[in-house]
Amino acid sequence: MTSSIVAQRGQGKGGRPQNQMHGDRELPKFNAENAVGILKYDYERILKKTKVKKGNKKIRVTKIISAYNHSIREIKFLHSEELRATENFVATKRAAAKANRDRDAMHFIQQEAMEKLIHIKHKVLKAERVLNDKLTAIFSKKQHHKWRRLQRARKESIQPKRPDNSEGGRPKQRGFQR
């Protein structure tokens, strides 16, 4: 019976070890490609989701998406060294800030990294605008709406997830509300 008590003593609320602090959460690794919005689209999936049926329209949409993917690959290739250097910069600065327990520096590190990458982001946004303009000319209103929804979901999927604070931080007040 004593061995079971000893085994449970190291566990805090929710099965988490007690010595783990809420502030020492592991940050997601900074991905420079995701930060600037580098996405490639699968034209087969887009054709299926937007319900493009006609052969001529399918070919035109496929060519437009292939051209976009090519321009994105080109941007990625031309700036690959800068993207990699920025990822390394963020990793080393985050490690230093974590060692110093400097929470304010974490925000500024991310901001500084984005300032280094802003010109790449502008190129990606320009390629995306060209893609959207060309697809707008081809798609019906309904298909365009489906395309924009699909595009929005794809962009949200590459954004870093915020940590769930359901048990972290201040405890929730229970009982009656004032």
State residue 38's pLDDT score: 92
Residue 178 inside a domain? The answer is no
Residue 49 inside a domain? The answer is yes
CB 70 within 8 A of CB 62: no
Condensed to tens digits (0 to 9), the pLDDT of residues 121-151 reads 999 999 999 999 999 999 999 999 999 999 9
Residue 104 inside a domain? The answer is yes
Residue 48 inside a domain? The answer is yes
Total domains in the fold of the chain: 1
CA 133 to chain CA centroid, Å, is 24
Percentage of the chain lying above the pLDDT 70 cut: 75
Q: Is the pLDDT of residue 112 over 70?
A: yes
Structural domain including 31 reads: 27-157
Q: Which of 133, 165, 147, 161 is nearest to 34 (CA)?
A: 161
Residue 176 inside a domain? The answer is no
Dihedral (CA of 142, 54, 51, 64) sign:
negative
- What is the crossing angle of helices 43-50 and 141-158, to 10°? 130
What mean pLDDT comes out for the span 21-39? 77
Residue 8 inside a domain? The answer is no
Residue 170 inside a domain? The answer is no
Between the CA of residue 76 and those of 91, 136, 154, what are the distances in Å? 20, 25, 18
Q: Residue 11 in 3-state DSSP?
A: strand
State residue 163's pLDDT score: 52
